[in-house]
Structure 1
Amino acid sequence: MLCNKCGQENDVNANFCKSCGHSLSDNASKKEKRKKWMYSLILLIGLGGAGFGASQLMQEPPQQAAPSEELSSAKEDEQQEQQEQAEKQGQEQSEEPEEIKEPVELAAADGKTEGTVTKVEDIVPPSEQPEKVEPKKKDKPAIIKDTQQKVYTILTEGGQGSGFLFHQSGLVATNAHVVAGFTDVIVRNINGQDQPGTVVGISDESDIALIKVDAFAGIDPLESEMNPTDVGTEVIALGSPSGFENTATIGYLTGIDRDFEQEFIYEDIYQIDAPIAPGSSGGPLVDASTGKVIGINSLVMEEGDSIGFSIPLYSMHGMLTEWVNNPMSAEEVVAKFHVYDDFSGYEDENYEFDPDLEMKFEESSLHEFVGDFRYYYETALAEEDFFYVQNLLVYESDIYNGILEYIGDIAGKEMEFNFNKLEITGTEIFEDHALVHTEEAFDFKNEAGEWSLEERSKTYTIVMDENGFYYVSDIINKE
């Protein structure tokens, strides 16, 4: 099947062009499609009415002939006697108590029995019938924890974004603008481990793309929601906004059917109030009660209160699946690069990446990082789960192992930590690390249930990787 947009030859059963992502189905407008559906409905009703009338005409019994004059009176008496016996027998049966109802037989038009249906309550007393169990909803901390394992930071030579595991063959979904102009990218998991990825699908109309990561093959993907989601649904947005990897924010779906045309065509997308920021692009929007992915976070309007927009996953699922079955070649991906020449912030064909580009510590971002670290550390203590803070620490460092051990020690002892003060008193920036000095306080309930006010003077040692991400390598307490 030829694509009427780019001329690419596609499989006869394909729904989307594997080259440009253009729909191969009828290009009629929504109004035209709606009209065709109405015509089909009218046609079905017409056919149904005609068929019903015809069946009634065919099944109408012939007019009864007048009784034969030759019928003997003896024959009439015999028939009358049989009728009286039948009526008497029926009356006796109706007076008998009904013990167990017989199965109801469903007969086909030809009179043959298709099957039987027996109501459970006719056999099993109500008191002995099993109770219906409603599916248990997951709590938000569990959903966040499970989802974060399959949410990734996408790194290119031009910047970074987010993505999530879409298919068990190691395919990661993201926004097209995250990987625009690149065929090879780096995909980082929650533990800070980097894996090479290859773009195998990208659209120049819809802002979606698909990345193949061999290291993720065999991992069960996040579950997709295949139906529209209602306004008012509580949602969780995950991604790596402003360099803070695997951040989760909570809000509500506040609008639907929003349309934009901003480099890409966005139709019927979701509006959310869960905070997102540059770097969140490509991350999943998750239903806070089911854990299913309902959207791909794509846009943010930074006028007044932050308003975000997410592409409904059910509307893009067919195109992503098309790339799963028919991945684009590197040449096909490269052929699309010219589409993004005018994008602000993306590279043109003359751009050369400088591998020696120096990343520098910034005082404001260091302060923000320490604030975020303190928030996730408090969450880790409250949930008694090291997971919430592990990706902010240098892996297997003394502070990494120390916090891991401490959280294990307090687990199950019903201790409480209510942080109420964080004051940054100084910052020192060196060539390969930075020191951030703080004054902190928190209310603490010990194992015996006794409360106390704890005050600490701390020094955070912070290092930075080649991509500009911060990690805590040490914390010194000065009591």
Structure 2
Amino acid sequence: MKCPNCQHENLIDSKFCSDCGNKLINPSFPKQGIPTWAIIVLSICFIAIGGLGYAYWDFFNDKKSYTTAYSEINDNQKINAQQVSSEELTKKQEAHAQQVDRVTLIKEIQQKVFTVLTNNSQGSGFLYKKGGYVITNAHVIQGEVDVMIRNANGQEFPGTVIGISDRYDIALIKVPNYQDTEPLGMETVESPIGLEVIAFGSPQGFENSASIGYITGNKRDMKLENFIYKQIYQVDAQIDKGSSGGPLVDVNTGKVIGINSLLYTTDTSTNFAFSIPLYSMLDQFDGWIAKPLSANEVRAIANVYEGSQQSTIETKPTNETDALLAGQFVQAFRLYYEMALNDGDFYWIADMLSPGSTAYQELEKYINEIAYQGHYFYFTNNDVLDVQYSNGQYYVDMNETFDFYDTQGNYQFYDRYKTYTVITDDYGAYKIANIKIHQ
């Protein structure tokens, strides 16, 4: 093999030139590169492997995303389901709590509601103020001074009547055994129509009764025999004879809002009941506490309506049409009376009064005395409370309110209850014979 450096001829398998020592390259072992076809095959393999890897990676990520989304949906559904379940549970718990609260409320109030017993009657009452003061109706007392009260446990204690009204159907009893007992809460403002209430008492002798209902009307004025019932509540709770004097309680606050006093009845059924608003009588009760009536004073006042049974409103007068007309006649008289007062002219009402009667003489004198002095009357309310007929005469009970301004411009509001005696003359015309103002 020839040396490429010095051209010396060497053996074929020599690795170095024997003349110059240069490294020889054996032509039997030529240096070869990577074939083109191999490069192409390898490239295709690498691309295929990369594509498969990317496809697997993409599939894995999609599956993971789907799994995560599905998991989140499930989680949200679970949360919503838990929320719905929680809301239903809360409602059930609130309803149960409300039922429990009412049961608790009724039990607590019943401990301070009593059956009032006298020699001639039985009614209800409730603890008003600390000191052992029990409220009831005047018609329950019926002139008695010494009474008994029976509590929800059947225990009886003596009580003394220290207050009774000849105008309103209310009375107050002092019971020493309860002087240290905390009384029921009292509402001091008017309650609205629609308020849910509980009526307590002993209807028909069934003691410790509680009936749930609603206030279905208010601002009702009426007069029944000797009592005036002003701005009373109309309720649909079950109240019957024996409930009189029991408390009407606000379900929401547990406070007493009224004194159960009347029920409206027909020949076939009881339709609704009435309760005296407590707030309207607080001053009267507190006045008796500050200055109790003596036994003689209680008896003297009670004699005014002795024997009265004020537990139902039965019917209107026998001739309802004539009674209605008599009431409307008095209302018309009031309109003309306002003009007579402001004009100072008796002429406006002269023909509506019975000639020579007490009403004629008194009103003629009064109008002539105040004529042209600058007084001003403005009548705001003329409600007929009741009309009774007896011995050819109608007795019309009215609630009248008016504003009065004197000559100096000083203002005063009047709220009066009057009974007009109405007769018919020879021609059948209505005439007013007498006017009684209830103080």
TM-score, length basis structure 2: 0.47
- Greater per-residue helix proportion: 2
